[in-house]
Structure formats: structure tokens, C-alpha cells
Chains A and B, each alone.
Chain A
Amino acid sequence: MVGENKFFDEMSGHNGTVRDAYAAYHDWFAEQDAERLTKKSQDAETFFRRTGITFNVYGQSEAQERLIPFDLVPRILAQREWTKLAKGIEQRVAAINAFLHDIYNRQEILRAGRVPKHLIAGNEAFLPQMLGFSPPGQVYTHIVGTDIVRTGEGDFFVLEDNARTPSGVSYMLENRETMLQMFPELFAKIKVQPVSDYPKNLRRSLAACAPSSAGSKPTIAVLTPGIYNSAYFEHSFLADQMGAELVEGHDLRVVDGHIAMRTTQGYKRIDVIYRRIDDDFLDPLTFNPESMLGVPGIMDVYRAGNITIANAPGAGIADDKAIYSYMPDIVEFYTGEKAILKNVETWRCGEPGALQYVLDNLKDLVVKEVHGSGGYGMLVGPAASKKELATFAEKLKAKPGNYIAQPTLSLSTVPIFTESELAPRHVDLRPFVLVSPQGINIVPGGLTRVALAKGSLVVNSSQGGGTKDTWVLED
């Protein structure tokens, strides 16, 4: 792979020279037989199917269950790259928690004029029910999945702060398991930091956030919408790995001011709920009255301090795309330091000058819905047809406040294995961050998502993205 790379390739940089972090892997790969690797790749798929690591795609009744394609070439980060990244993430996540506590209590940042009031007050993700309340341990975002993209040797950007219910950690764990099974010799040769402690740390972190009335061994439950949810595999996987109960809303009710689950021996109290349903569905008495997924009355129990809900209701205001552009200010406001990690340049289309700029440069920009997720409702300018651009421009003009725009990033690439050779594909990274009163814990690495189609920038699993094992090397 010698020559000029238009995009920064994490294996071979811009000029085709293998970077240090990949040197040992590259040597190993050069000795491998392509046929054997193809066979291994098929084995991995069989393994994923057999163990049921599958997901459902919304709006697709056929092909009910799909696999997230797994690529066998790891994404490798040097210890020193990771240390810097982790520091930046920790700073940002700490700021997010301080921001949430402030927004729901004294609102200093609004009074200081660093974040405009209307962005909070008029925001669906802001929950007035949380005002004047402090959750157990003062933790709002127990689990965060900070999406990071890279454009060059030292250029990392935060793309999104997923502060609600970030998913994907089960894939991170299973990807490593798969790699260990497929290529044990590789791990003997190259020292990679383990990720397998995550479930144990998650349990410990959630337990540390239990209400003060809970005993020394708090009961933890994962709340899932059920077996037809696209992320059900992950819900059951995490419950299993943590030794927690896996519950649905109808297993729970309020008993004597606590949340209790219906067991074969009557109702039993639970202390911490790791919920994998949205705020809106949590409590039909407080939020969406149609919700069948939540627990009627849970918000009263919560406000009485008798249950921990992770992440806290209303935490979504921190990862709202309209708030995102203020994040450097938010970090500075609460930590007194400059943000270590950069934001991607962002135009808020609600601002008149910005709207004009975005309309004029639509073909070069990525435009996102403020409340969208999973890559839906998003325009990738360079990949769009003239007609698509025109249609989107109309939508933008009709509701400019609904959109933000960002430049098309030159996302870094990592090679994937295609039948016989290595081919560069764009990637992002989602490290997983645990927050408790005892501190912030980040699993080394995270989930690398890769856009499998040549040239594509969309890494979402619902739209043709795959995953890779992510290695942080030991020094």
C-alpha cells in the first residue's frame, strides 16, 4: 500500500508508510493466506448467527433478523493516542454531568448567557419534571457513548455525545471474543488492553449510584422494551453478563413507595434500573399516556429518591444537536479548562446568516435533524442528487430551527478485508464511559463502526455499516 492516500488511513497514514501502531499487525497479516482468512470470516458469521447476535431493522418485516457485518481487521490505537482521547472524553463527560445538574437546578449557565435560554425551554428533551431534583449520587449520565471521528494524525473530533441510552457495547465485547477465538496467536504476539471487565465495571458503577436506602448489594435490573426491539440482544447480553434482572415494564409496579418486580415468590424490590427505553415511555402517568413499556408511577418513586434510573430522565438535553455546538463553552464553563477534544464546526440553521450559508453550500455539507438519530433524516450533500438537494433545501427553509449543518468530514479510514485484499473504508469510534460518584471509567477502545461500501461515510448499522474490533495497545 504505497502511494498517496486522499484520506488519512490509520494503517498507512497519508503517504502509504505503515504507522507504528499497525506495524506488528501488518507483519502478521502479510504472512496470512487469503483463503484461510476468508474462511475465518465466514466462521465468524456462523458464530454470530448461532449465538444470536442479531438485530431487527425497523420497518422491515421480512429479513426479520440481520447480522451486523463484522470485519476481521482490527482498528488499532497506540496507548499514547488513547490516553489523550480518554482524557478529553473524561473532561467532556464530567462537564455534561455538571451541565445537567445546573440546567435542572440553578441554571447558572443560562444566567451567564453562555447558552441561550430558548434552546432549553423550548426543547423536547428538556424535562421540567426534573427541575429542583438531584438524582442519587448526582449522576445523570451513568453510561455515555461519545462518538469520535478522526481526520488526521492528531485530529480527533466529537461528533455526538450520546447521553441517553447509547447502544453497541455488546458488539464491542463480542467482537473481541470473536477475534480471540479466531486468531489467538495474534493476541500472544501483540499486547492489547482487555475490554472484558466492562460488564463488571458497569455493575459496580450502577451499584455505586443506588439510592441511599438500598442495602449493600443493590438489586439492578435492565429495563427492555422486549424481544422485538432491535437492540434486545444487547439488553439480554448485558443483564446476563452483569448478573442483573432483565425486566419489561409489565414485570414492574410500585409497591409501598418502591419499584418492585413480580417474581415467582411475590414482589421483590429493585434499586437501580438501567433502562433501555426512551424518557417518553418511562411513565405513562407523567409522560406519554399511551406507553405500555414503562411503569406507571415510577417518576414519583424517583423523585422520592427510592429508585435510580440510568440514565436520568431528561439527560437527553445534553446530547441534543442544538446544544452540541455550545459544548466547548459548556466544558469551559464547568471545568475552567479549554476543551481537550474539538467539536466539528457546526452551523445552526435557525440563525439567519447560517441558513443562507448552508443553502448556498448544501452540496458540500452534512445536514442533520436536531432530534434525529441513527442517520435517519440526514442529508449527505456530496452524495445527494440535484433533486434530493432541492427537496432538502425546501425542508430547510420551512423549518430551519430543526437542522444543523456540518462540513463533510474527511473521516479517517481503516482497511477492511475484502476477499483477497485490504481496502480502506471510513470509520468512527464510540468509546463507552461509565460515570459514578467514585469517578469516570472508560473502557479502552470502544466500538469501531465502519462504512462497508466504498466511499460511503454512513457507518450506522441500520444503513449498511459494519463493526471492527478496536485495540488499544499496551505500551
Chain B
Amino acid sequence: MLGKTAGGLYWMFRYLERTENIARLIEAGFRIALTRSTDAESEWKSVVTTSGVSAGYAAKYDNYTSTNVVDYLLRDTSNPSSVISVTGAARDNARLVRTALTTEVWEAVNETWMTLTELLANPVRETELPSVLNTIRQQSALVRGALHGTMLRNDIYDFSRIGTFIERADNTARIIDVKYYTLLPNTSFVGSSLDNVQWETVLRSVSAHRSFRWLGESEMTASGIADFLILDRRLPRSLSFCISQIVSNLDYLAEDYGERHACHEMAEKIQSRLKNRDIESIFDEGLHEFITAFIRDINSLGQQIESDFRFGG
């Protein structure tokens, strides 16, 4: 496979994953804005921070109203991480790797782009927001379904999955990073209702509020949530889950190509820091430090993969 094709697949799926993550963050933020209007401003601010677009946002707006934040994150073409920009970038990459995709996957991506471009052509009113976010999620599911249902399980699939999980790991880690103080076991507002709202928002941001309950953790505690998001191997958005997916897909590539690279070692090292670990030891190490280091490592891993498989020029 061409290095460029591997790169195109990796980025296409990173961007597609990002689209969905942004929609989910907005959804969680919007909920808080509706239910607790006094916290709205700070909640929107953390949504912007989590999306990694603070500087660009601050250059354009000096407050964090839901109208401005939603517009910036959904449809501002000057924001390279807005849904509209990212969907366009995903489709450009899909065009680049068109010959590696099944018709189903290509059409799903192309349709996503057409649907979202039309949907986001004009500012989204608050009353329409839930249905717009819903459409974004549905389109994501469509592409994912086409990928799983029609693509060969070969290197093409591996690079697609690696892109997805690097992006997802980064996203979950950022959510924890921005909200880490609410997850510390001994914060001042333990047990207060503020806690519950914050925790629920965190869980909603990774679509895990219901699964957390299913797992029978009757009581929401900070360490329970942190444990869930970082170490739980059943949750498809936990750091542990993401890194083991990356490791497996890199292993398939090594098997396929008969060659191991620096990125293989790097991924295993990141994984080893999450394996057989309990949340207390992470708190002892310092949650903030742990997460910051994880974000740094996962990004270096992404770069290492790019160079090991010759994505660039």
C-alpha cells in the first residue's frame, strides 16, 4: 500500500471520529446550559478547551455563550476542528484513498459530507440543535457500519482503526484533563449535587452515562468514574480500551508485513502503564500528571506511526 494511502486512511478516520466527539461534547455542554444556566458559561469554556481550539476561539469571541460556542464548533470554517471543516477534511482524505475504500464506505463518507454541508449551511437555532447533533451521530454510525460490514480485514482496515483509536484516546484523555479536578477523590464538593452534574457531564461526553449505571456501580464516585474512563476494558472509549485496540492493530500490521517498528514498542509501553493497574495508584501518581503524560505519549505515538509507515512526503 502507498504510504500516502495509509496516511489518508489514518487521517480520514481520525477526522470522522473527531466529528462525532465534537457533537458529543456539544451535547453534554448543551445539557448543562439548559439545566443549570449559572454554570453554562464555564461549561462552554471547558467544551472549547477540550476541543483544543481555545486560542482560535478567544481570538474571535470574548465570551462563552452557547450561540457562539455552538457556531464555532459546528460550522465555523476558520476553525480547523469544526464539524464542517473536519467533515470536509475527512472527505478529501476519502477522495485521496478512494481506491482503498469499498463503494459503501466511500458513499457513506460522501453522503455525510453532503448532508452536513447542507445542514450546517445556516446558523443552527437552539431548537434545532438536538436534531442536528443527532444527524451528525447517525452519519458517523453509517460510516462505521459500512467500514465494519464491507471492508476486508487487512492493512487498510488496520490503518483506519488506528486512526480512530488514536483520536478517541486523545479525546477521552482531554475530557479527563479538563475535568480532572472534579474526579479527584478528595475535592471539596464531594457528594454535593454539583459533583453529580459534573460527573454526569463527563460520562455523557463519552456516551457512558448509561453503561456506567448498567455496570451496577450504584453510587457515583469520583474514583469510580475515573477508573471507568481510564482502566475499564469494556468501555469502548476508555483509555485502556483504545490503547489495546491500537496495539492489536499494530500487531496485525507487523504480522502482515513481517516487520516491527519503533511504534510497536511505544504502543506497548503506553499499554503497560495501564495494565494491572488500579485507580488508587494513579491518584497516588497524580491524576493530572498521569493524563498529561498520556496525551503527550499518544500524540508521539501518532507521529511515530506516521514516520514508520511513510505517511508523509
Q: Do the beta carbons of A51 and B4 come within 8 Å of each other?
A: no
Given A49-B114, A50-B111, A264:B106 Cβ within 8 A: no
Q: Do the beta carbons of B313 and A250 come within 8 Å of each other?
A: yes
Q: Report A204-252 residues with CB < 8 Å from chain B CB.
A: 227, 232, 236, 239-240, 245-248, 250-251
With an 8 A cutoff between CB atoms, is A455 at the interface? no
Instruction: Report the count of interface residues on B (CB-CB < 8 A).
Output: 23
With an 8 A cutoff between CB atoms, is A261 at the interface? yes
CA distance A250 to B310 in the complex (A): 12
CA distance A232 to B155 in the complex (A): 24
CA distance A377 to B103 in the complex (A): 39
Choose among B1, B99, B110, B155 the residue that contacts A239 (Cβ–Cβ < 8 A).
Answer: B99
- If A227-B95, A251-B2 are given as contacts, then 17 extra A-B residue pairs at C-beta distance below 8 Å, sorted by A number, are A50-B107, A50-B111, A51-B103, A51-B107, A51-B110, A52-B106, A236-B99, A239-B99, A245-B99, A246-B98, A247-B4, A250-B4, A263-B1, A264-B2, A264-B6, A264-B310, A265-B259
With an 8 A cutoff between CB atoms, is B33 at the interface? no
A224 to chain B, nearest CB (A): 10
CA distance A236 to B110 in the complex (A): 15
List of B residues within 8 angstroms of A51 by Cβ = 103, 106-107, 110
Footprint of A on B, CB under 8 Å? Answer: 1-4, 6, 92, 95-96, 98-99, 103, 106-107, 110-111, 114, 155, 253, 257, 259, 309-310, 313
Footprint of B on A, CB under 8 Å? Answer: 49-52, 227, 232, 236, 239-240, 245-248, 250-251, 261-266
B33 to chain A, nearest CB (A): 35
B6, B99, B114: residue with the most chain A Cβ atoms closer than 10 Å: B99
Q: Do the beta carbons of A52 and B4 come within 8 Å of each other?
A: no
List of B residues within 8 angstroms of A262 by Cβ = 2-4, 310
Chain A to chain B contacts (Cβ below 8 Å), 17 pairs: A50-B110, A52-B106, A52-B110, A240-B98, A240-B99, A245-B2, A246-B2, A250-B313, A251-B3, A262-B2, A262-B310, A263-B2, A263-B3, A264-B3, A264-B155, A264-B309, A265-B257
A248, A261, A263: residue with the most chain B Cβ atoms closer than 10 Å: A263
Q: Do the beta carbons of A263 and B313 come within 8 Å of each other?
A: no
Task: For A239, give the chain B residue with the smallest CB separation.
Answer: B99
CA distance A239 to B257 in the complex (A): 23
Task: For A54, give the chain B residue with the smallest CB separation.
Answer: B110
7 smallest CB-CB distances across A and B, nearest first, come from A236-B98, A240-B99, A264-B309, A227-B95, A262-B3, A264-B6, A52-B110
CA distance A240 to B103 in the complex (A): 11
A254 to chain B, nearest CB (A): 16
List of B residues within 8 angstroms of A239 by Cβ = 99
List of A residues within 8 angstroms of B253 by Cβ = 264
CA distance A376 to B248 in the complex (A): 55
Q: Do the beta carbons of B3 and A227 come within 8 Å of each other?
A: no
Q: Do the beta carbons of A251 and B4 come within 8 Å of each other?
A: yes
B142 to chain A, nearest CB (A): 12
CA distance A109 to B95 in the complex (A): 46
A245, A246, A261, A266: residue with the most chain B Cβ atoms closer than 10 Å: A246
List of B residues within 8 angstroms of A246 by Cβ = 2, 98-99
B204 to chain A, nearest CB (A): 33
CA distance A266 to B257 in the complex (A): 11
CA distance A248 to B3 in the complex (A): 11
List of A residues within 8 angstroms of B95 by Cβ = 52, 227, 232, 236
Q: Do the beta carbons of A263 and B110 come within 8 Å of each other?
A: no
Task: For A241, give the chain B residue with the smallest CB separation.
Answer: B99
B256 to chain A, nearest CB (A): 9
Q: Do the beta carbons of A264 and B96 come within 8 Å of each other?
A: no
CA distance A406 to B118 in the complex (A): 46
CA distance A239 to B95 in the complex (A): 13
Q: Do the beta carbons of A261 and B2 come within 8 Å of each other?
A: yes
List of B residues within 8 angstroms of A232 by Cβ = 95
Task: For A222, give the chain B residue with the smallest CB separation.
Answer: B99
Task: For B310, give the chain A residue with the smallest CB separation.
Answer: A262
CA distance A245 to B100 in the complex (A): 10
CA distance A262 to B297 in the complex (A): 27
List of A residues within 8 angstroms of B259 by Cβ = 265
List of A residues within 8 angstroms of B98 by Cβ = 236, 240, 246
CA distance A247 to B98 in the complex (A): 12
